[in-house]
Chains A and B, each alone.
Chain A
Amino acid sequence: MRGATRILARVAAALLIVVGTSAFSAAAEGEGAAHETAAAAPPTPIAGQKSGALSGGTADHSKFKALEGPFADGSEVTKACLTCHTEAGKHVMKSIHWTWDYTNPKTGQKLGKKNVINNFCTNAKGNEGMCAQCHAGYGWKDDTFDFKDETKIDCLVCHDRTATYYKLPNSHGHDACGVMFEGKEPIDFAKVAQHVGLPGRENCGGCHFNGGGGDGVKHGDLDSSLLKAPKTLDVHMSPDGANFACTQCHVSDKHMIAGSRYDMVAKDEKGLPKPGERRDVASCESCHGAKPHPKASLIGLQLDTHAERIACQTCHIPKMARGGVGTMTDWDWATAGRMIDGKGYAEENYTQGDGKERHTYWTIKGSFKWGENLTPTYKWFDGRMLYTTADAKIDDAKLPVAINSVMGSPDEKNARIWPFKEMHTNVPWDPKNKTLVFNHLWGKDDTAFWGNFDIVKSVAAGMKLENRPFSGEVGFLPTVSNWPITHMVAPKGDAVKCAECHTEKSRLAGLPGIWMPGHSTFRWLDILGYLAFAGTLAGILIHTLARIFMRKPTTGEH
């Protein structure tokens, strides 16, 4: 971390121009950083990525007449795609990448980026102009967007294999935001259309590495270091390892992609599919089987038994954010809006492993803390997450309030101990009505927080847009969100060692329902045992001394 505080004082609006690109990408899963990635690394796609059964291909898209162009915009390319891929549009429109809407079958909760409030930029709803940069479509800036129009699907963001494609915000932000992406090379749509292919890590990563507003911010196990990871960072994705594209594990059928965080399998007892069968799950077991450790070995047998109660990830991902990119651990919205001489500013007091500086304060967002090589937090997890939704009445007696509660107990057979990244944020809330709030951050109007810096006004606008009651008061609520850790699987030699859990100061200390030799003890049995031990020793010592000092010549037993 660099000691000196670098203050970039600027007009609030103007700073959006320069620093805006990455960190501005707002709310939930992965926004806006196709451009950031493109800016950081020269546009060369990573070759040789494996995409499972789909790899190979029999068509050269540069030979198709329909793709000769020229194309005025992305939507025109989509129309061309659909002339051959006649059903793709219907498929995509059912996927969460398009709907941003998801009802969890286990909990009945209405989730998806369209609905949830998280503890990063809190809500995509009402800020689509910015946030929907990461929507797999063109032009979603408000409720008028037509979700039934196939031609508005963005095929290229996922299928571009030139690494030159990027997305822009769908609407203007405050004042100067219009020139935000000035100076970028215009997209050559025909070239991109002729070089489409199966999604690589660059494609998925464009959004998913940048969730929460920038590289590595949100997840702790997903950031740009996975593009060209050394094997020690990720055995699956490393070009020196298996060089998997995301879709090798996140298999898809009709554009429905397996392994959504909204509906997880915490314990996959089916394991390997039968020969010739295909399983549409992204679990470790679907490739490695339910008993993956060395056979005919005592420790292997013990480790397979561990898998009964412990997720693979718990041992095989020893630390989070290991690739030189920091992940955000704390965020305080309460400090947002500070000015120096009437101007917004940013501070960068965190230097991450790869040398890049990260914001520790930014007028539009507040204060941040970062971490790397972090030990995850461990919790029992049965695959259910209960979200604190916008209509939940919040019990603020117990802080921090969980944005998503990890469900599961040791008594459930399908629950296992999983690693999580915890994100701690002071989020704006309505302390009278005791609810989370929708905050209107993005826009050209006089209520958007980014530009006006009046949080009461911006929350009032966000709540009005959603037709939700707002008391008129904004407070700040300590919250925690839980992000399951499942990427950055280390080589097997780097897995968590036995003694990191089987010890007094265990990684799993404090978890209910665990019995781990070396960690768990019956305290009073130990006390009695050690007393018996010490007492016996003392007795022997006294007896020996007595024998030496009192005794006449030996006449022991004959």
Chain B
Amino acid sequence: MSDATLTAPVGRPTKQTVMIYTRYERFWHWSQAVLIFVLAMSGFGLHGTHGLVPFGLAVKVHSFAAIALIVLWIFTTFWHFTTGQWRQYLPKLSGLPAVIRFYAWGILTGAPHPYTKTLKRKQNALQSLAYLSFMVIIGPALWSSGIVYLTYPWWAHAAIGTIGLPAVAFIHTAAAFLMVTFVMIHVYMTTTGKTPTHYVKTMITGYDTIELTAAEAAYLAEEEREKPRL
């Protein structure tokens, strides 16, 4: 694992293969990916979009996957705050126009990506904005409406004669459509790296080759020796 060996003299930036995504982050990312895929398939199955899963089975799968996802989110929220990684989602709006220009045009003509991944800053401006909206709007809208939907047995009696259930279903379905759209764009974006599979590999192995300042490199070397890996 530890190929982040210090080779360059202090004071000059170096290119090194370092761990960008910790083990927990990768676990979180991929289990969330699987759960959301399962939820989308079962959710739109029971919604009537496709007939691949019988209704009763879809309800079961959707409910249990939802509970698993909620548990995962609770852990991850905890992780984000204890590790301070939540800061990754704070968008730096000044960088936004350049990133948008890149994806709209530059990427086609082979221009360099305006953003450079650093150890402290894993996401570009567009990414963090996208992930932020995912984390604070689409995600919460989906899981909060989902939880209310899931607990219908306990408020069914009170909801008689109200629009409660359709309202919850509306929010949940709308957020689900946004989620699917987000995921499609997200998956496509992962093919825009150096090679179409570059980013995916990074998210699997956790490692990427990026430029480090001398200070970062020195710090990393120290870390590698002392820190138990998460």
CB within 8 Å of B: which residues of A?
A: 298-299, 301-302, 304-305, 308-309, 410-413, 497-499, 502-504, 515, 517-522, 525-526, 528-529, 532-533, 536-537, 540, 543-544, 546-547, 550-558
Q: What residues on A are CB-neighbors of B63 within 8 Å?
A: 298
Among residues 41 to 71 in chain B, which have CB atoms less than 8 Å away from a CB atom of chain A? Answer: 46-48, 54-56, 59-60, 63-64
Q: A536-B185, A551-B109, A557-B117 are in contact. Are A299 and B173 (CB under 8 A)?
A: no
Q: A503-B55, A551-B108 are in contact. Are A528 and B177 (CB under 8 A)?
A: yes
In the docked arrangement, what's the CA distance between A557 and B107, Å? 10
Indicate if the CB atoms of B47 and A555 lie closer than 8 Å: no
Query: Of A301, A536, A557, which is within 8 A of B184 by CB?
Result: A536
In the docked arrangement, what's the CA distance between A301 and B198, Å? 46
Residue on A nearest B173 in the bound complex, by CB:
A525
Residue on A nearest B58 in the bound complex, by CB:
A518
Q: What residues on A are CB-neighbors of B12 within 8 Å?
A: none
Q: What residues on A are CB-neighbors of B176 within 8 Å?
A: 529
Among residues 156 to 196 in chain B, which have CB atoms less than 8 Å away from a CB atom of chain A? Answer: 156-157, 160-161, 165-166, 169-170, 173-174, 176-178, 180-181, 184-185, 188, 191-195
Query: Of A298, A308, A544, A555, which is within 8 A of B156 by CB?
Result: A308
B28 at the interface (CB under 8 A from A): no
Indicate if the CB atoms of B113 and A498 lie closer than 8 Å: no
Q: What residues on B are CB-neighbors of A557 within 8 Å?
A: 113, 115-117, 124, 192-193
Q: What residues on B are CB-neighbors of A298 within 8 Å?
A: 59-60, 63-64
Indicate if the CB atoms of B113 and A411 lie closer than 8 Å: no
Indicate if the CB atoms of A517 and B153 lie closer than 8 Å: no
Please give me the 6 A-B residue pairs with the lowest Cβ-Cβ distance, nearest first: A552-B110, A529-B177, A557-B113, A411-B161, A498-B55, A305-B153
Q: What residues on B are CB-neighbors of A547 within 8 Å?
A: 107-108, 192
Q: What residues on B are CB-neighbors of A528 within 8 Å?
A: 177
Q: What residues on A are CB-neighbors of B161 within 8 Å?
A: 410-413
Q: What residues on A are CB-neighbors of B107 within 8 Å?
A: 547, 551, 556
Indicate if the CB atoms of A533 and B177 lie closer than 8 Å: yes
Query: Of A308, A529, A544, which is within 8 A of B173 by CB?
Result: A529
Q: Can you list 5 A-B pairs, Cβ within 8 angstroms, ordered by A?
A: A521-B48, A550-B109, A551-B110, A556-B198, A558-B211
Residue of A309, A515, A558 contacting most chain B CB atoms (<10 Å):
A558
Q: What residues on A are CB-neighbors of B84 within 8 Å?
A: none
Residue on A nearest B106 in the bound complex, by CB:
A555
Indicate if the CB atoms of A515 and B165 lie closer than 8 Å: yes
B35 at the interface (CB under 8 A from A): no
Q: What residues on A are CB-neighbors of B178 within 8 Å?
A: 532
Known: A301-B153, A302-B153. 16 other contacts (CB 8 A): A298-B63, A305-B153, A410-B160, A413-B157, A498-B55, A499-B56, A504-B48, A515-B165, A533-B177, A533-B180, A533-B184, A536-B181, A551-B109, A554-B194, A556-B193, A558-B211
In the docked arrangement, what's the CA distance between A555 and B107, Å? 8
Indicate if the CB atoms of B55 and A499 lie closer than 8 Å: yes
Indicate if the CB atoms of A308 and B195 lie closer than 8 Å: no
B152 at the interface (CB under 8 A from A): yes
Residue on A nearest B185 in the bound complex, by CB:
A536
Residue on A nearest B162 in the bound complex, by CB:
A411
Indicate if the CB atoms of B153 and A411 lie closer than 8 Å: no
Query: Of A301, A551, A558, which is within 8 A of B210 by CB?
Result: A558
In the docked arrangement, what's the CA distance between A532 and B178, Å? 8
Q: What residues on B are CB-neighbors of A301 within 8 Å?
A: 153
